[in-house]
Structure 1
Amino acid sequence: MNDISNFSGLSGSGASELFQILRDGRPRTRTELADLMGLARSTITLRIEALMDLGLVGYVDDAISTGGRPSTRIALKAGSKVVLGIDIGASHVRVALTDLLGHRLKENSQSIEVSKGPDVVLECAVNLGKELLESTNHSLSDLLSVGVGVPGPVEHRTGRPFNPPIMPGWNGFDVPGLLKDHFNVPVLVDNDVNIMALGERNASWPDVDNMLFVKIATGIGSGIISNGRLQRGADGVAGDIGHIRVHNGTGTPCHCGNLDCLEAVASGPAVAKKLRALGHEANSSEDVIALVSSGNAEAVHAVRQAGRDVGEVLSACVSLINPSVIVIGGSMTLTGEHFIAGIREVVYSRAIPVATQHLRIVQSGSGLDAGVLGASMLAIHHAMSPKHIDALVNGLKSD
């Protein structure tokens, strides 16, 4: 998924446009590159040399000879530079070191409550990231960017969380600034569901341009891919379906201050609360999953109804966004088909047939990896964008 700015022949250094051609990893000769760009070989050579000085491209094995001297081919050096993807959850931090083609080199994780605050949690992330660099024989000079997902709303322009309900002490905190102080590279921050949408699409649906990723766990939210691009909206809260009111509520208060929000009715903790009222030992999503796995009929019914409640909101989303795939992720999917069956039941019966005739509603293929995969992709998209490549080339010129 190329979630990057458009580039043109007028871009700052010219090398960035050449790099956008080579970023697919396919080796090409100077002649092929000159023909693709409509430029002289001498100009192509200068731009290749600039990218080589940055360590981003290099020579590969000789092309097949047709009788004369074989042409040298140039390709992206995917493993020469790396990015870090950081997935911060309600109770964990996962960090992955990834090459420029999105292949994970190594990852690590640690259980930690996000409620401990940004200083403690981000220190954990920094330590995990530096350990990964060291254990793979990479230095900070090999790192191009860092992508971060957090479990709350984020002001996209600044990368600062705003009014995150389960993140006390994080409101307005300069997450990019703190991490940049440690890694000295650009840091991109987004909410966890947007990040998971990027990761899921890259891993499982690279050819799908219109997709909705829905996470149902402690909270409920969605990430929107439309026309191949992640949609954040005017203020970065596009896809916040957890606070849409559902008809099945019984006056249930939500932490946002309203009643009968989808999150207050159908999230993991909400289902656990309903089961406690029926006399079951259920204090978390994990307890709900265990009850369903044991075949408890009341738990199965509660999960199926939660799926219907989610389906009620998604049926409206289908008419508004018209996705070809809805991917369901988060811990509640571990209840098996019961939850997704409830979603399908309502979406396919309520949404207009023209919007559902080709619609697929599926469980996430990336599972718990979606967050860290998406954070890595966010970092890669920035690191390989024309603007960033131009900045790196201009930095070489000024040295």
Structure 2
Amino acid sequence: MTEDALTGPAAQGLRAAPTTTAPGASTLLRLLRDGRPRTRSELAGATGLARSTVTQRVDALLASGLIGPAGEAVSTGGRPPTTFSFRPRARVALAADLGATHARLALTDMAAEVLAEERADLDIALGPEHVLDWVVERGRALLAHAGRDVSELLGLGIGLPGPVQHSTGRAVNPPIMPGWDGFDVPGYAGERLAVPVLVDNDVNIMAIGEHRTAWPTASHLMFVKVATGIGCGIVSEGRVYRGAQGAAGDMGHIHVPSGEEKPCRCGNTGCLEAVASGAALAEALTAEGVPAHGARDVVELARHGSVPALRALRQAGRDIGEVLAASVNMFNPSVIVIGGALALAGDHLLAGVREVIYQRSLPLATEHLNIVSSAAAESAGVVGAAVMVVEHCLSPDQADRLIAAGAG
């Protein structure tokens, strides 16, 4: 498995701080992040560290503001001991979910709870400088709106609607993102905010967000985004799986029987995306005399009971199910989540997906399989991007630097 989204990919803007102050305090922080208050004695017992060492590291964590006193434990004789707990609002993260024609930006705490957010129509084809300048400018505005200082910002997480080399944060030959190919997104945004910037494919961050929000105990999950394009984020053993080059989950460009020789924007013909994406359905409906300009129009038509739109959604679900049925047999997930703009149209898309998967997949693979609509819905991307930032910045190496800087 390649490096996952929840641990240290390349990031820009983090200034290395000396780690001489209570090295290893991140070990205690990791324990306390479960939300349960603990005394120094409990921390010493859980880690096997000497009481003096635990005291030193707790003091460093208190100085950094990442933990705080949480009351007193029951006394077993003498003065009741103080308990300590994680303070998720001690730092904040910026999260940007960038689509083909829209942007969603959120400020969250370290538990990925949204504190402030903004959504805008923003064309990714305007280029990286224009889009990233908007993210930085509006990100600063969200910080000010929430009454937070830039010094409290852990980092910025960005999801892009195209293939991303996660280790560098650069898009690779993205078909709908002119000017983005190879652009140093972490460097450009990180220089302006002076914080780590982590970048991933938008479907991967949505998979992280859905996993955190609705299925935290699911070891194997697939998140399918059906919008302007079609993509899949894969969670395996609780971590995002990317494959050798970061291209895992690009199911939109798998050939499907109903695609015949229909051209796809990737240059091939007969791809799933060419027949089942929001753009493809809008084009097909328009050709039938039902005007639609994109996924949002298809959703509106379906919500108003348009028979052609409902029929098109059901068939799109079947086409997506054709590809997922093979994936179910190969990967054997416990959960398949259908999200993205078209999933907001109701149950017709989901019904088509279920119909084909249960028909074509092995009984053992589908015995306990959940096929559901997204619970996080439009928040999945920003929640996932925030989780990506927090898990990176609170990973052992990074957390020790953060704690040392706060205690220094």
Q: Could you say if the C-alpha distance between residues 19 and 343 of structure 1 is closer, same or farther in structure 2, counting changes exceeding 3 Å?
A: same
1:217 CA drift (Å): 0.5
Change in CA separation of 1:220 and 1:96 when aligned onto 2, cut-off 3 Å: same
2:328 to 300, 303, 318: 318
Q: Secondary structure in 2 aligned to 1:255?
A: coil
Question: Which contiguous aligned blocks of 4+ residues in structure 1 show a shift greater than 6 angstroms?
Answer: none
Residue type of the alignment partner of 1:188:
L
Partner of 2:43 in structure 1? 33
1:8 is matched with: none
Please tell me whether the aligned partners of residues 66 and 86 of structure 2 are also in contact (alpha carbons under 8 angstroms).
yes
Selected match of 1:101 from 88, 105, 111 = 111
Paired amino acid for 1:104: V
Cα distance, 1:291–1:394 mapped onto 2, change above 3 Å: closer
Q: In structure 2, what is the Cα distance between the partners aligned to 1:274 and 1:250?
A: 14
Alignment of 1:384 onto 2:394 = yes
8 Å contact kept, 1:109–1:128: no
For 1:214 and 1:205, the matched residues in 2 are separated by 15
Give unmatched runs, 5+ long, in structure 1.
6-11
Partner of 1:22: 32
Aligned match for 1:217, one of 203, 211, 227: 227
Please report how far the alpha carbon of residue 67 of structure 1 lies from its aligned counterpart in structure 2 after TM superposition.
4.3
1:233-284: CA deviation from partner (whole Å, max 9, x where unpaired): 1111110000000011131001111101000111011112222222221222
Task: Select which of 63, 77, 80 maps to 2:90.
Answer: 80
Cα contact 2:24–2:396 (8 A) shared by 1: no
**Aligned pairs (5 A) from 1:92-241:** 92-241=102-251
Distance change (3 Å), C-alpha of 1:27 and 1:241: same
The residue identity in structure 2 corresponding to 1:332 is: L
- Once the two structures are aligned, what percentage of the paired residues are identical? 51
Q: Give the distance between the partners of 1:262 and 1:103, measured in 2 at CA.
A: 35
Shift of 1:104: 1.6
Q: Which residue of 60, 64, 71 corresponds with 1:54?
A: 64
1:253 maps to which residue? 263
Q: 1:391 offset after TM fit, Å?
A: 2.6
Q: Check the 8 A contact 2:70/2:84 in 1, yes or no.
A: yes
2:382 is aligned to 372
Distance in structure 2 (CA, Å) of the matches to 1:204 and 1:2: 18
- Residue 338 of structure 2 aligns with an amino acid whose one-letter code is I
Contact 2:210 2:376 in 1 (8 A): yes
| Deviation per residue, 1:113-143 (Å, 9 max, x gap) | 1111111111111111111111222212111
Q: In the alignment, residue 324 of structure 1 is paired with which amino acid?
A: S
Other-structure match for 2:337:
327
What SS is found at the alignment partner of 1:248?
Answer: helix
Distance in 2, matches of 1:252 and 1:114, equals 25
Asked if 2 retains the 8 angstrom alpha-carbon contact of 1:25 and 1:78, the reply is no
Q: Output the CA distance in 2 between the equivalents of 1:258 and 1:109.
A: 33
Give the drift of 1:42. 0.3
Q: Check the 8 A contact 1:30/1:45 in 2, yes or no.
A: yes
Check whether the contact 1:163–1:171 (CA below 8 A) recurs between aligned residues: yes
Offset of 1:296 from its aligned partner?
Answer: 2.7
Distance 2:58 2:5 in 1: 22
- Structural RMSD (CA): 1.8
Separation (CA, whole Å) in 2 of partners of 1:230 and 1:133: 29
Contact 1:145 1:382 (C-alpha < 8 Å) held by counterparts:
no
Instruction: Spell out, residue by residue over 1:309-338, the C-alpha distance to the aligned partner (whole angstroms, 9 max, x if none).
Output: 000000001011110110000111122111
Structure 1, 238-247 or 42-51: larger mean CA deviation: 42-51
Following the alignment from structure 1 to structure 2, what is the Cα–Cα distance between the partners of residues 154 and 265? 24
TM-score (norm 1): 0.94
User: C-alpha displacement at 1:53, in angstroms?
Assistant: 2.5
- The 1-side partners of 2:242 and 2:5 are apart by 16
What SS does the corresponding residue of 2:103 show, helix, strand or coil?
Answer: strand
Distance 2:7 2:336 in 1: 23
The alpha-carbon deviation at position 293 of structure 1 amounts to 2.6
Amino acid at match of 1:135: H
Asked if structure 2 preserves the Cα contact closer than 8 Å seen for 1:222 and 1:240, the reply is: yes
Tell me which of 40, 52, 56 is aligned to 1:42.
52
Kindly indicate whether the alpha-carbon contact (under 8 Å) linking 2:60 and 2:404 is maintained by their aligned counterparts in 1.
no
The answer on whether the counterparts of 2:225 and 2:231 sit within 8 Å (CA) in structure 1 is yes
Per-residue CA deviation, residues 23-43 of structure 1 (Å, 9 max, x unaligned), is: 122211000000011111101
Matched to 1:249, the amino acid is G
Moved more, 85-94 or 224-233: 85-94
